[in-house]
Structure 1
Amino acid sequence: MSNRILSVLTLSAALFLPNAHAAEEGVLDIYIVRHGQTHWNLEKKLQGSTDNALNETGTKQAKDLGDKLAGVKFDQIYSSGLKRAKDTAAAFAGSTKVTPLPELNERSFGKFEGIYEDDRSAVEFAEFGKRVTVLDDSLDGGESLQSQANRVKTAVATIRQQHKQGNIAIVAHGGVNPLVLSALLDIPVAEAVSRIKQGNDEVYLVRVREGQAPSVWKQVVRGTLEQL
């Protein structure tokens, strides 16, 4: 990874959102949104491709997100095909078209799907931690990280081809959005998955301008002031 990209990532906790209300000519702003909380998120269960709905907190997070992004005029919003992402997208879409893309769905975690991400499933979770970033490991009946990364990269390329400027949003998952950033910033897949951890109510903004390295901002709210 180049020093140019590293310098961009160093600035990724900058104040949010720069020039959010009006799109600049020749500039594409990509808002990367993680879905709101589900019961499995709350219970610290590994969710994967299981199609859970938002819980009460997640519904509120989605509504609050709509308030925060109310000043952004989106040209189009893309979501994964899973309900928790589609419902989060609907909360701030207004009249903007939402296009579900199954290529943005979360990965199936095979035999590990539904285990607890703490001591309640200590043995299984330890094994999962060792295997989840191995590119060709399909986790005993799930999907490999390389397969997921390939389809997410294809989705990002398709989106980029259709939008050269303006404002768009991608609403997906904790395991998908690092891969979106991997594709946009040319970060190795395993590194992106192991190092980028997006909360349920966090938003990233990637600004793409012809001839320049992408710029990255992260929404900082009261609960994450330490990240300033």
Structure 2
Amino acid sequence: MAESGTVAITFIRHGESEDNLRPIWAGWRDTPLSELGTKQVKALGSSLSSTRFDIILSSTLRRAYMTAKAVQEAQHEPKPEILTSLLLREQTRGIAEGHPWITEPRLGLSLEEHYAQGLFPIHHERWQKFPGGESLEDLELRANKAVKEVILPHALTLSKVRKPKTHIAVASHGLLIAEMIPALLKLDPTSSEPHTTYRGMLNSAWARVTVEIVGGHDRDERWPDMRVRVTDFNSHAHLNSIVPLSTGSEKRDSVQTFAGDEEDSIAIQAEQKVN
């Protein structure tokens, strides 16, 4: 059966968490928003209050759910429902969670000796991971699953009811969002963007992807023919109204969020110092 309509998906990175204030690996650690993070998401909600969301999907972790709640509370009645999914959680760091990160391995120590001493070096390759954790390759697989099992089913169901336009918010985490956007783009055979890097979102920033359902189905007849386009990325004008607290969290956050691509991390830290 042919389908048509346009679905907008707004990916929202959570506000600053208490773990963003510390030089540790966070991952699935379930810490709440910091004082600044609470201000960030309140400003975010106000800035998006004129954008009507049909549903809000959220990670189960508190920093993302609190962000989703702030967006929901600023919406006009009837307020959109929030649905949570474990698939929308951040990359887990396994045994490293709660422990400090170090930028480079210590000379003369094996990885096992690093771990025994509570030292967990930043990874620079997509296949690397800590014991019990996920690599970026693992995260990519989970992002594909989140798109196909969580986001798209809601998008397609809502588009049938609310044609011609549907809008979904997804409150999640920087590294996972950076994998979910390409996962969507890869479903569009005409897209030239799947290999673009979508890292660099600040706390409480958002990105928007539009999915135009043009009718027909792909080869396995599971998904309709779609045209996918990124219209906004790292939008954070709402932060201009907030007086930042003197926490020095920007550098710590950039390491946790962008580790795995050293050049990106350095560039992003430089951008944050300028902005």
Q: TM-score under structure 1 normalisation? A: 0.74
The partner residue of 2:146 within 126, 147, 155 is: 155
The amino acid of 1:143's aligned partner reads E
Bigger CA radius of gyration: 2
Map of 2:202 onto structure 1: 199
- Taking the aligned partners of 1:65 and 1:88, their CA distance within structure 2 comes to 9
Q: TM-score under structure 2 normalisation? A: 0.63
How many residues are matched? 196
Residues 86 and 117 of structure 1: CA distance in aligned 2, closer, same or farther (over 3 Å): same
Map of 2:95 onto structure 1: 111
What does residue range 69-148 of structure 1 map to in structure 2 within 5 Å? 69-94=48-73, 95-117=79-101, 123=106, 127-131=121-125, 133-134=126-127, 137-148=128-139
Residues 126 and 50 of structure 1: CA distance in aligned 2, closer, same or farther (over 3 Å): closer
Map of 1:175 onto structure 2: 175
The amino acid of 1:67's aligned partner reads S
- Taking the aligned partners of 2:201 and 2:272, their CA distance within structure 1 comes to 15
Supply the RMSD in Å over aligned alpha carbons: 2.9
- Taking the aligned partners of 1:208 and 1:77, their CA distance within structure 2 comes to 17
Map of 1:185 onto structure 2: 185
Residues 152 and 37 of structure 1: CA distance in aligned 2, closer, same or farther (over 3 Å): same
Offset at residue 32 of structure 1 (A): 0.5
Comparing 122-131 and 97-106, the one that deviates more: 122-131
Structure with larger RCO (C-alpha < 8 A, sep 6+): 1
- Taking the aligned partners of 2:203 and 2:228, their CA distance within structure 1 comes to 27
Work out whether residues 38 and 53 of structure 1, in 8 Å CA contact, stay in contact via their aligned partners in 2: yes
Work out whether residues 35 and 171 of structure 1, in 8 Å CA contact, stay in contact via their aligned partners in 2: yes
The amino acid of 1:36's aligned partner reads G
Segments of 5+ residues of structure 2 without an aligned counterpart are: 74-78, 107-113, 160-165, 187-193, 215-226, 241-270
Residues 126 and 57 of structure 1: CA distance in aligned 2, closer, same or farther (over 3 Å): same
Offset at residue 179 of structure 1 (A): 1.2
- Taking the aligned partners of 2:13 and 2:19, their CA distance within structure 1 comes to 15
- Taking the aligned partners of 2:38 and 2:9, their CA distance within structure 1 comes to 23
Offset at residue 215 of structure 1 (A): 3.0
Structure with higher strand content:
2
- Taking the aligned partners of 1:226 and 1:127, their CA distance within structure 2 comes to 24
- Taking the aligned partners of 2:184 and 2:64, their CA distance within structure 1 comes to 20
Percent identity (aligned)? 28
The partner residue of 1:216 within 226, 231, 240 is: 231
> What do the CA deviations read for 1:17-67 (whole angstroms, capped 9, x no partner)?
xxxxxxxx8111100000111121122432111111111111111111110
Segments of 5+ residues of structure 1 without an aligned counterpart are: 1-24
- Taking the aligned partners of 2:101 and 2:120, their CA distance within structure 1 comes to 9
